[in-house]
Amino acid sequence: MKRASLFIAAAALGLASSIAQAAINPNWTFTIEKASPATGVNSTVDIYRYFAKLNPVGADAGAGGLQSVDAKLDLVAPVLPNSHFLFGFSDTNGDGFDDADPFGTNPVLTMTDQRARSNTLVALKSFIRTGDLAGGTFSPATVNPPQFQSTSHPDPADPVNNPPIQDFDPHTVWDDLKSFRVAGIYTSGGKDAKAVSDAKGALFALAIVPRGASAPVISGQVASDKGPISDIVIPEPASLSLLAVGGLMLGRRRRVAK
């Protein structure tokens, strides 16, 4: 797990520093796919899917798929009044209050790869992660904003039943969020083989926003189970206006010097 250790160590240093240490790897191609279902459970939202496709050659020879991600989703300026990411909520820490789910691991509605790729199976929510939760576990190293779980304390007035009193409600932060970051690794599953085997690649991020909201863009890095950390190619806002359900290929562009 040397590659995993290196990636999480970089993630812990912060997004800016890890970007400085990475570079565009031509073995990776990134695709954005937009969908706006006319009917069904997702008819009031715009869906943006982010795929990473790996050609396992050169420095990535022998790689089996996508293992690690350190990515950030932002809404493009000008941010429209109704623009914000939509997240799933459930009690994941057992205190009886809602926690935000920026990884798509909500136990009430686990966002498996199959569900996340469908416009009709479930009401979709935003996430960043690696791996299909049907076959492995995603372990986050960094989350920003960090306050995605509720905090509480036992009611001192009722020491017998100890009902919890909420100190922090994640809804106050995550209900109107316009930017978030997740860094982590696919652990028990090892890697997402769809990065190699699937025509689109591995689905590593899902952005769900109200219909007609500002379009999100992604930045950060990914890494396979072998080979170097690679920058995610960043689309310009003008490019996003050209998105269609078929997707927009963004990989293998050289970065323009500032």
247: pLDDT strictly greater than 50: no
pLDDT of residue 76: 81
Residue that wins the pLDDT comparison between 237 and 42: 42
Q: Between 85 and 168, name the one with better pLDDT.
A: 85
Q: Which residues contact 215 (CB under 8 A, 6 or more apart)?
A: 34, 46, 48, 75, 76, 237, 240, 241, 243
pLDDT digits 0-9 by tens, 170-192: 888 999 999 999 999 988 768 89
Radius of gyration over alpha carbons of the chain, in Å?
A: 19
Is the bond leading into 145 cis (omega within 30 degrees of zero)? yes
In angstroms, the Cα distances linking 232 to 60, 61, 90, 236, 257 are 16, 19, 30, 13, 16
User: How much is the average pLDDT of 82-87?
Assistant: 92
Domain regions of the chain by residue span: 2-249
State whether residue 23 is helix, strand or coil: strand
Instruction: Give the tens place of pLDDT for each residue, 101-114.
Output: 999 887 677 788 99
Residues 19-36: tens digit of each pLDDT: 445 578 889 999 999 999
**3: which DSSP letter?**
H
Q: Over the stretch 130-180, which tens digit does the pLDDT of each residue have? A: 988 766 688 899 999 998 888 877 877 777 777 787 787 888 899 999 999
Mean pLDDT is lowest, of 51-60, 116-125, 193-202, 249-258, for: 249-258
Residue 200 has pLDDT above 80, yes or no: yes
Q: What is the pLDDT of residue 49?
A: 96
